[in-house]
Amino acid sequence: MTTSAPATGHTVLQKADAEASRQLTTLEGWRRFVAGAGEPPVLLSEHDLGRMSATERDLYDEDRLDHHARMLVVATSFVQKTATCGRRLVLLNRHAISARRGLIVSGMAGTGKTIAITQLGRSHELLDRARHPGVSDRIPVLYVTVPPAATARMVAAEFARFLGLPVNGRSNMTDIIEAVVGVCTDTRSGLVLVDEIHNISQTTRSGAEVSDTLKYFSERIPATFIYAGIDVEGSELLAGTRGAQIAGRFTLLPTRPFPYGTEWKALVATMENTLLLHDHPPGSLVKLSRYLHTRADGMIGALSHAIRGAAIDAILEGTERVTKDGLDAVPLDHAAETALSPLKKATRQ
């Protein structure tokens, strides 16, 4: 009989992030996301902790681990800007018959693109529910991702998978597309979020066919399309005639690393206020805000990963506080780690 090694804070965090991303691409998962995570666990007093059995303490700690494993959504200026641009386009497209306008959110990995578009989708769906209380047959928002080396059939199948439509080896493209368009029309879909759009290359035959398929969906489904991807403006998505058509119909909203300043400090403070640790000195992370900016290279994704990972380690190791050493012990993505110049590395010593 073999036993698995105990999960580290880093692997717990990786699994949680991957699971959250996967769940969004199904209607059931998307609806769970829109519903929200619910109230966080209550941080108990030392007196209450002392009265717990070992099993009760394990369950209490597991609830706290799960809380820190969840990606915190912060209403940054970019999230708010994306919401404003997206809402404007939805309204402008409301009575459009064709040539509806769209939005491309583009930037480096870890700058909050997926957070921004999913928060736009969540707010759109909540508004739709408020306008149509008690109506359960509406699907206001679709969220799909473009797989690497995608074919047109693969992308059409992603739409079908989100909607729960059966796709098998005998299903042809026309059948899949007509089924998707029919369901989206009947359920009043108004917003389509397409992530990982940088995986499309207009310079390859399969990439061009994927682009044509998305264009066809946007013409048949009366919805606003929102794309998100890494450095889209420099990618092959906008190459050639097809790329020019996209560029002429979509507004591009670039994301960037956060500069060190008031908003960055507020981000750190907001994340620190969500920590559920028994021996963490309040405000100690805010004092490390400049170090955290250097450590994360201004990336909100890396910042969140570092703080949540260190909090998970603090529970697993029993220290119950996030420290500079604890933050340093959490491996970040390769881009954030390799962005450290000798001067930056010196500030970490």
Which string of DSSP letters, residue by residue, matches 160-198?
Answer: HHHHT----TT--HHHHHHHHHHHHHHTT--EEEEE-GG
CA 338/CA 295 separation, integer angstroms: 10
Chosen CATH of 77-254 out of 3.30.565.10, 3.40.50.300, 1.10.357.10, 3.50.50.60:
3.40.50.300
CA 120/CA 227 separation, integer angstroms: 12
- Check: CB of residue 149 under 8 Å from CB of residue 170: no
pLDDT of residue 341: 47
pLDDT of residue 22: 54
- Check: CB of residue 322 under 8 Å from CB of residue 275: yes
- Check: CB of residue 258 under 8 Å from CB of residue 293: yes
Q: For residue 233, give the 3-state DSSP assignment.
A: helix
Considering the entire predicted model, what is its pTM?
0.85
4 CB-near residues (< 8 Å, 6+ apart): none
Tell me how far apart the 2 most distant CA atoms of the chain are, in Å. 70
Where do the structural domains in the chain lie, given as residue ranges? 9-33+63-70+258-343, 77-254
pLDDT of residue 5: 43
CA 333/CA 230 separation, integer angstroms: 15
**Amino acid letter, residue 273:** N
Cα-based distances in Å from 271 to 37, 70, 74, 196, 276: 16, 12, 8, 26, 11
Cα 346 to chain centroid distance, Å, stands at 32
Please list the pLDDT of the chain residue by residue as tens digits (349 residues). 333 444 555 555 555 444 555 589 999 999 999 998 788 999 999 999 999 999 999 999 999 999 999 877 888 999 999 999 999 999 999 988 777 999 999 999 889 999 999 999 999 999 999 999 999 999 999 999 999 999 999 999 999 999 999 988 788 899 999 999 999 999 999 999 999 999 998 889 999 999 999 999 999 999 999 999 999 988 888 888 888 889 999 999 999 999 999 999 999 999 999 999 999 999 999 999 999 999 999 999 999 999 999 999 999 999 999 999 999 999 986 555 565 544 444 444 4
Structure tokens belonging to residue 45: 């007093």
CA 283/CA 246 separation, integer angstroms: 46
**Amino acid letter, residue 145:** T
